[in-house]
């Protein structure tokens, strides 16, 4: 009788013999089909909008930790800290859930550690450091907590989302089982939950995790979910897009909102891909009353324009673009809800793109800020809480991360900041 | 495995860059290089030539459409493989209700003595493979046929590494049982040192 070792050794060869790899007879049809299919412009793809992250660093394996005594100490420490936090909280009120606030620190990732930086002084400080590979920090709306992803040992596609205090202390994992392909996460307006977009069985899906790590659940949404975001100011709904239209491989077209309480989904804008119209990058206004998104037609004359609709999908306002521009996508709302930072392109790619500040009422094409050569390929921007400046994470033509850039929405100038980030910009809100 | 030839790497990188800019001929050249193995993998996973064709086609079209977003041209092969595997998994998910329960008992009349490379041997393995649940079969094919390390297999399938290890172990156990392998000498090791 054959040994199991021999069976295992022979298995790859037997699989070859079973499958007989060969060029399939449908190859020519496949090539013809792809030739008739249009490529999507780079900017419309979610991946282009995600930060460049340094995943090359391999974290070391952690030593086994004596959890029980640590847990007892942690409980005692938590009680002390809770008391201190209550005292501190009574002295420092939290910012309003939306609208302008006072500027705090910028949080960013570099070399697998999490830093905060003061944009006024340019000084940076590591708040989470160590052998682990930590990426993509995000502030909570009240500026008291930071969420970040810790890449799982030996597998750079799996991660665990942690929530820590503003100074990086007491990090708590919110998903005990690593999630594959974590692409985004955001605190709920209350700060008590985290909305995570990650892969489930290879399908982009949405999860809600309690910020204290007590539970996590996957939302019952069919299809590939993108652009998931809490609706401000109370987080009662979750906006999302999907590509469940006529072409499941194609761009996202429909815009929907899921009621967090009962799980019911309402259609804000139904898919329009059957009409040759596609949409992307839907974002809530700061007060949750409007939604901005990019819409384009699948034709040789690519024209992408920013649309703004009410929360129920009515009152479509198309923001005008100047002559020569071929695409424009919304990136970030000002906190007062009157302006949008958009990315505007003059070619099909991102090589001739620049940020522009445009009024959301559709009156005019706004002002482009392109004087600085290193703002051209920056796609990720965040307004300062007081709307006095806009922070961007630029990359060069080879996707190398450059120094952070600050735009001035009044003087329409830009300047570089003395730190490099590999994460999307995130700015702490403080009560005014 | 032979080391990659520098010239080939450069050529493929150039092809990928051209395809990213919309050069369909370059994409066709890239496509033909990989399709034999990916088609075979799809057939092994889905056990249906028509479904495999759908999976490969879906993965390739998705690759062409989204190619401008590929940041690192050197990762084209792994990226294309991922898209095709995901397309096959999508198909598996849509057809999950037809999944076959795992059969852990030997298949009548197929247990043999010495395991030689005969048609009968292949038939035994093929029959055993067919009896596996699709998700389990995918782990076996990705690991043993495409040579993907288990952590990456777990990532591709969106499952924890422990689950991937468990599925592989139980799949191999089921296949050994089905073809009448001597379990006394079974070891817990995964061949090829591909766990790291």
Q: What is the mean pLDDT of residues A119-132?
A: 91
Query: Which of B43, B157, B160 shows the shortest C-beta gap to A178?
Result: B160
Q: Which two tokens stand for residue B26?
A: 């370059």
What are the Cα distances from residue B99, in Å, to B85, B130, B167? 18, 10, 15
Of the candidates A157, A38, A29, the residue with the CA atom closest to the CA atom of residue B39: A29
Residues in chain B: 196
What are the tens digits of pLDDT across the range A73-83?
777 777 777 76
Of the listed ranges A293-302, A347-356, B66-75, B98-107, the least confidently predicted one is B98-107
Q: Residue A297: exposed, middle, or buried by beta-carbon count in 10 A (0-12, 13-18, 19+)? A: middle
Q: Is the pLDDT of residue B161 over 80?
A: no
DSSP annotation of A377 reads: T
Domain B100-196 in the same topology as domain B1-98: no
Chain B residue closest in CA terms to A48: B69
Chain A (53-112) residues lying within 8 Å, Cβ to Cβ, of chain B: none
The larger pLDDT score, comparing residue A363 to residue A56, is at A363
Please name the residues between 241 and 260 in chain A that touch chain B, using a CB distance below 8 Å.
249-250
The residue written with tokens 């920013």 in the block is A306
> Measuring CA to CA, how many Å separate A32 from each of A5, A40, A123, B64?
45, 17, 56, 12
Q: Taking 60 as the threshold, does the pLDDT of residue A377 lie above it?
A: no
List chain A residues with CB under 8 Å of B62: 249
A203 touches chain B (CB under 8 A): yes
At B148 the three-state DSSP class reads: coil
Q: Of A385-389, B117-121, B159-163, which range is least confident?
A: B117-121
CB A122 within 8 A of CB A169: no
Of the candidates A315, A425, A416, which has an alpha carbon nearest to the alpha carbon of residue A373?
A416
Closest A-chain CA to B44: A19
- pLDDT at residue B123 in the model: 78
What's the pLDDT at A320? 93
Question: Which architecture, in CATH terms, is B1-98?
Answer: Orthogonal Bundle (1.10)
Nearest beta carbon to residue B69 from set A23, A42, A52: A42
Residue with more model confidence, A70 or B175: B175
Q: Kindly report, residue by residue over B69-84, the tens digit of the pLDDT.
A: 777 788 888 888 888 9
Is the previous residue joined to A233 through a cis bond, with omega within 30 degrees of 0?
yes
pLDDT for the residue B152 = 77
Q: Which of residues 92-131 of B touch A (CB under 8 A)?
A: 93, 112-115, 117, 121-122, 125-126, 129
C-alpha–C-alpha distance, residues B68 and A331, integer Å:
20
More confident residue, A62 or B155: B155
Q: Which of A164, A238, A236, A149 is nearest to A198 (CA)?
A: A149
pLDDT value for A188: 96
- Kindly list the domain boundaries of chain B, sorted by start residue: 1-98, 100-196
Q: How confident is the model at residue B185 (pLDDT cuts 50, 70, 90)?
A: very low
pLDDT recorded at residue A44: 57
ipTM: 0.75
Lowest mean pLDDT among A107-111, A128-132, B70-74: B70-74
pLDDT value, residue A337 = 95
- B4 band by pLDDT with thresholds 50, 70 and 90: very low
CATH class assigned to B100-196: mainly alpha
Contact yes or no for A201 and B89 at CB 8 A? yes
Q: pLDDT tens for residues B5-39?
A: 434 444 888 888 888 888 888 999 998 888 999 99
Longest dimension (CA), chain B: 57
Dist. CA A263–CA A266, nearest whole Å:
10
For A323, the 3-state DSSP assignment is coil
A294 burial type by CB count under 10 A (0-12 exposed, 13-18 middle, 19+ buried): buried
Q: Which residue has the higher pLDDT, B81 or A67?
A: B81
Give the DSSP letter string of A57-126: PPPPPPPP--HHHHHHHHHHHHHHHHHHHHHHHHHSPPPPSSS--EEEEEEEEETTEEEEE-TTT--EEE
Query: Which structure tokens are listed for A135?
Result: 């990426």
The residue with tokens 């009968």 is B120
Question: Residue A298: pLDDT band by 50, 70, 90 thresholds?
Answer: low
Question: With a CB-CB cutoff of 8 Å, which residues 26-85 of chain B face chain A?
Answer: 27-28, 31-32, 35-37, 39-41, 43-44, 53, 56-58, 60-62, 64-69, 71, 85
Name chain A contacts of B58, Cβ cutoff 8 Å.
249
User: CB within 8 A of A369, min separation 6: which ones?
Assistant: A354, A355, A356, A357, A375, A407, A412, A413, A414
Average pLDDT, chain A: 81
- Chain A contact set for B183 (CB, 8 A): 4
Answer whether residue A128 shows pLDDT above 80: yes
Q: Taking a C-beta distance cutoff of 8 angstroms, is the pair A200, B155 a contact?
A: no
Identify the band that residue A225 occupies on the pLDDT scale cut at 50, 70 and 90. confident
Cβ contact A40–B65 (<8 Å): yes
**Which of B49, B65, B164, B175 would best serve as a mutation to test chain A binding (most A beta carbons within 10 A)?**
B65
For the full predicted model, state whether its pTM sits above 0.90: no
B4 touching chain A per CB within 8 A: no
> Between these two residues, A395 and A336, which has the higher pLDDT value?
A336
Closest by CA to A419, choosing from A132, A119, A54, is: A119
Q: What is the pLDDT of residue A302?
A: 60
Contact flag A22-B157 (C-beta cutoff 8 Å): no
Phi, psi of A8 (to 5 degrees): -60, -40
Q: What is the mean pLDDT of chain B?
A: 72
- Which of residues A222 and A391 earns the better pLDDT score? A391
The pLDDT of residue A3 is 64
- Give the span between the Cα atoms of A140 and A186, in whole angstroms: 8
């Amino acid at each position: 009788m054959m040994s199991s070792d021999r069976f295992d050794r022979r298995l790859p060869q037997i699989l070859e013999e079973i499958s007989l790899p060969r060029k399939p007879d449908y190859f020519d049809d496949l090539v013809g089909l792809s030739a008739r299919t249009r490529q999507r412009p780079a900017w419309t793809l979610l991946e282009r909008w995600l930060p460049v992250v340094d995943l090359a660093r391999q974290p070391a394996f952690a030593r086994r930790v004596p959890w029980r005594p640590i847990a007892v100490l942690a409980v005692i420490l938590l009680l002390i800290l809770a008391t201190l936090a209550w005292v501190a909280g009574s002295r420092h009120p939290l910012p309003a859930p939306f609208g302008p606030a006072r500027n705090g620190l910028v949080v960013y990732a570099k070399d697998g550690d999490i830093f905060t930086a003061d944009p006024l002084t340019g000084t940076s400080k590591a708040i989470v450091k160590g052998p682990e590979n930590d990426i993509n920090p995000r502030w909570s709306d009240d500026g008291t907590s930071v969420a970040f992803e810790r890449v799982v040992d030996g597998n750079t596609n799996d991660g665990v989302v942690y929530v820590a205090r503003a100074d990086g202390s007491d990090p708590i994992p919110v998903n005990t089982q690593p999630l594959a392909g974590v692409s985004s996460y955001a605190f709920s307006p209350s700060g008590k939950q985290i909305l995570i977009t990650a892969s489930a069985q290879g399908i982009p899906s949405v999860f809600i995790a309690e910020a204290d790590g007590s539970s996590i659940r996957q939302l019952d949404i069919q299809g590939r979910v993108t652009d998931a975001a809490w609706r401000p100011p109370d987080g009662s709904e979750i906006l999302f897009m999907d590509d469940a239209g006529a072409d499941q491989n194609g761009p996202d077209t429909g815009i929907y909102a899921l009621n967090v309480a009962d799980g019911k989904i309402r259609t804000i804008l139904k898919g329009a891909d059957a009409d040759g119209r596609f949409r992307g990058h839907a974002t809530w206004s700061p007060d949750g009353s409007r939604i901005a998104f990019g819409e384009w037609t699948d034709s040789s004359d690519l024209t992408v324009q920013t649309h703004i609709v009410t929360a129920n999908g009515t009152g479509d306002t198309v923001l005008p673009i100047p002559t020569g521009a071929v695409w424009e996508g919304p990136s970030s709302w000002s906190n007062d809800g009157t302006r949008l930072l958009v990315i505007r392109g003059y070619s099909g790619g991102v090589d001739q793109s620049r940020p522009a500040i445009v009024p959301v009422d559709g009156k005019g094409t706004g002002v482009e800020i392109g004087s600085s050569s290193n703002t051209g390929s920056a796609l990720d921007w965040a307004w300062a809480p007081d709307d006095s400046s806009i922070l961007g994470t630029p990359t060069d033509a080879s996707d190398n991360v450059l120094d952070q850039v600050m735009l001035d929405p009044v003087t329409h100038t830009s300047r570089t900041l003395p730190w490099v980030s590999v994460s999307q910009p995130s700015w702490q809100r403080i009560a005014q | 495995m032979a080391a990659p030839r520098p010239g080939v790497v450069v050529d493929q990188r150039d092809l990928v860059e051209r395809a990213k800019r919309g050069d369909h001929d370059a994409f066709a050249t890239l496509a033909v290089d990989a399709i034999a193995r990916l088609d075979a993998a799809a057939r092994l996973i889905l056990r249906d030539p028509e479904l495999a064709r759908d999976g490969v086609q879906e993965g390739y079209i998705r690759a062409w459409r989204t190619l401008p977003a590929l940041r690192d041209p050197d990762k084209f092969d792994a990226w294309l493989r991922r898209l095709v595997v995901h397309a096959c998994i999508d198909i598996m998910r849509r057809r999950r209700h037809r999944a076959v329960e795992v059969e852990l008992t030997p298949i009548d009349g197929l247990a043999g003595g010495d395991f030689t490379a005969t048609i009968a041997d292949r038939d035994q393995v093929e029959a055993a493979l067919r009896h596996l649940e699709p998700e389990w079969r995918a782990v076996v094919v990705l690991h043993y046929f495409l040579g993907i390390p288990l952590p990456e297999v777990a990532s591709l399938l969106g499952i924890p590494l422990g689950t991937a290890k468990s599925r592989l172990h139980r799949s191999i156990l089921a296949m050994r049982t089905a073809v009448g392998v001597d379990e006394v000498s079974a070891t817990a090791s995964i061949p090829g040192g591909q766990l790291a």
